[in-house]
């Protein structure tokens, strides 16, 4: 389900072993993806009172929303007892967050799993997502991953905040993660600037080449 303008990409599939309908979004890969990332302006969200979301992430979701909903509803008709989950890394995590809110408001319960996702909206937005009874939210962040600290929060202008709680991976890169290595916190200490940390969540999470990783590092340094 690729989009034409922002190059957001993902898929909807069924897992018959675990009885899941899975919606997954790819992280940032193209220049169009990064244009969506750096569009820090916020706009009102129609399905949530007082909520404002990141304009670029919202545009990325809006481009694929109809296709996602149609595919999920078709899968539910075929597998009515399957649970719906939505997931993504980086930009994909931000899209998954917006998608979870949109699906929950049309009475599609969905559990949300994000990895290294940036902030996607204001406090009202985060409260809405954290407080809904239409699914659980699991926001996973790796130690020293700078991306979850973005966009920067500017009171009144860009009051970005995260969905709570945070599942904070305390170990470094290239290390197998155990349950003891994950702490549930309001927000972890992510003062680092390690792009490798953004690409390591339980395993290497990016198939991008080294040159792209370097471009990502430079982009993050410019934005932070």
Q: Which residue has the tokens 């979870």?
A: 100
Q: What's the sign of the alpha-carbon dihedral 46, 49, 50, 56?
A: negative
For the question of residue 198 being annotated catalytic, the response is yes
Helix (H) or strand (E) holding 91, with range, is helix 91-105
User: Is the separation of the CB atoms in 103 and 70 below 8 Å?
Assistant: no
Backbone torsion region of residue 50, taken as left when φ is above 0, otherwise alpha when ψ lies between -120 and 50, otherwise beta: left
Q: Nearest 5 degrees, angle CA 31-CA 193-CA 215?
A: 25
From 7, 144, 145, 194, the catalytic residue? 145
From 54, 137, 198, 206, the catalytic residue? 198
From 90, 120, 137, 206, the catalytic residue? 90
**Nearest CA to 11 among 104, 75, 81?**
75
DSSP 49: T
Residues designated catalytic: 90, 145, 198
């Amino acid at each position: 389900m690729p989009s034409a303008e922002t190059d957001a990409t993902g898929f909807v599939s069924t897992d018959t072993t675990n009885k899941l309908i899975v919606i997954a979004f790819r992280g940032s890969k193209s220049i169009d993806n990064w244009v969506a990332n750096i569009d820090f302006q916020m706009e009102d969200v129609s399905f949530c009172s007082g909520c404002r979301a990141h304009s670029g992430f919202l545009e990325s979701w809006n481009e694929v929303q109809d296709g996602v909903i149609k595919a999920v509803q078709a899968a539910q008709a075929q597998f009515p007892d399957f649970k719906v989950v939505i997931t993504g890394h980086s930009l994909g995590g931000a899209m998954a967050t917006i998608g979870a809110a949109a699906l929950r408001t049309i009475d599609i319960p969905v559990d949300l799993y994000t990895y290294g996702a940036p902030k996607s909206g204001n406090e009202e937005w985060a409260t809405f997502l954290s407080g809904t009874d239409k699914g659980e939210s699991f926001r996973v962040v790796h130690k020293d991953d700078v991306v979850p600290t973005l966009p920067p929060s500017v009171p009144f202008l860009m009051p970005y905040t995260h969905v709570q709680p945070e599942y904070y991976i305390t170990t470094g890169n290239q290390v197998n993660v155990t349950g003891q290595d994950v702490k549930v916190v309001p927000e972890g200490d992510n003062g680092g600037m390690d792009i490798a940390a953004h690409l390591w969540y339980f395993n290497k999470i990016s198939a991008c080449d080294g040159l792209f990783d370097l471009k990502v590092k430079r982009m993050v340094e410019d934005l932070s």
